[in-house]
Amino acid sequence: DRERSRSGCCNFEMAEPASTDTAKADSTTQPTDPTGSADVDDGGAKATAPVSVSQFMMSNKTESIMWLLRLFTLVSTFFFLFPILGVAEGGHFYQRALLANALTSACRLHQRLPRFQFSRAYVTQALLEDSCHYLLYSLIFITSYPITLCLVPVAVFSLLHATAYTRKILDIIGPNSVPWVRSFLDKMTTHQQSLFKFIACNEILLMPAAIFMLLGGRAHLFLPFFYYRFLTLRYASRRNPYCRTLFYELRVAIEQMSARPSCPTFIRSACHKAIKLICKLAPGS
């Protein structure tokens, strides 16, 4: 009996490593994603590639909605610039473009920020995001008199941000599908920095345009003040330094122009006063 009990104990001790190995084998089959989900997000696509465009869009609903809103922004901008459906309808497309941009910015802001909280820290964090800047931008101009310069940054941003998602859809359709669209997307990617500078130039030029609109009676009293706050947010942006860089380049160009001997004295004095005023109004960043 003692020998049988000893042999039983030995058999039990011999069986434990096998159960441990089984547990290890089971653990290797579990997902390695820290969130505990089996699907790991890889640039908006699942680990298993979808077989159709509809499945791809349904598996990335938020990105798909933002892509469709950006396309709607581009279409609305086109019908505003070229009023094929009538001049009166062009004003409606102006508001539709800004509304679609506001919805796109709100979706992007929801992705970038944690859960909404009624706190000063949350608002401060939101104001650091570029998507929050253009959400405010759309709300500022959506009730103002239609101005073409206002839709330029919105349309170019929508075109740039829709490039990557459009390329993914073309890859699903076929590796060589719609070559002229692929060529256009490649050119957009190549000239991306130049387009960002072009957007920053429009943002700066809209400030005097807002003042002239107020003087012409085509804007409400608070439009220049609201837009000034937007411009200070763009100047202090962490992810998009092009507005700040362009301000510096314009300052250097004006200083060089005013330093020429052929420049009249009153123009030189006006340039120096304008530079001093803008530097005083610029936020410390």
The yes-or-no verdict on residue 58 having pLDDT over 80 is yes
- Higher per-residue pLDDT: 22 or 219: 219
Largest pairwise CA distance in the chain:
117
- 125 located within any domain: yes
Secondary structure of 151-173 in HEC code, one letter for each residue: HHHHHHHHHHHCHHHHHHHHHHH
- 98 located within any domain: yes
CA dist list (Å): 85 to 79, 152, 247, 268: 8, 20, 39, 48
If DSSP codes are grouped into helix, strand and coil, which group holds residue 42?
strand
Percent of the chain with pLDDT over 90: 40
The yes-or-no verdict on residue 2 having pLDDT over 90 is no
* Residue 51 pLDDT: 64
- 171 located within any domain: yes
Q: Please state, rounded to an integer, the average pLDDT across all residues of the chain.
A: 81
The yes-or-no verdict on residue 276 having pLDDT over 60 is yes
* Residue 101 pLDDT: 96
The predicted-structure confidence for 232-254, as pLDDT tens digits, reads as follows 999 988 888 899 999 999 999 99
Which whole number is the average pLDDT over 12-40? 39
- 49 located within any domain: no
The boundaries of the domain holding residue 95 are 55-191
Structure confidence at residue 87 as a pLDDT band (50, 70, 90): confident
Which whole number is the average pLDDT over 103-119? 86
The predicted-structure confidence for 133-165, as pLDDT tens digits, reads as follows 999 999 999 988 888 899 999 999 999 999 989
- In this structure, the dihedral spanned by the alpha carbons of residues 36, 38, 43 and 48, taken in order and rounded to 10 degrees, is 180
* Residue 20 pLDDT: 42
Domain count of the chain? Answer: 1
- 101 located within any domain: yes
What one-character DSSP code corresponds to residue 14? H
Residue with tokens 């009166």: 88
The yes-or-no verdict on residue 103 having pLDDT over 90 is yes
The predicted-structure confidence for 157-215, as pLDDT tens digits, reads as follows 999 999 989 999 988 888 788 889 889 999 998 999 999 999 999 999 999 999 998 88
Cβ neighbours, 10 Å, residue 132 = 20
The yes-or-no verdict on residue 117 having pLDDT over 80 is no
Contact present, 142 and 101 (Cβ < 8 Å): no
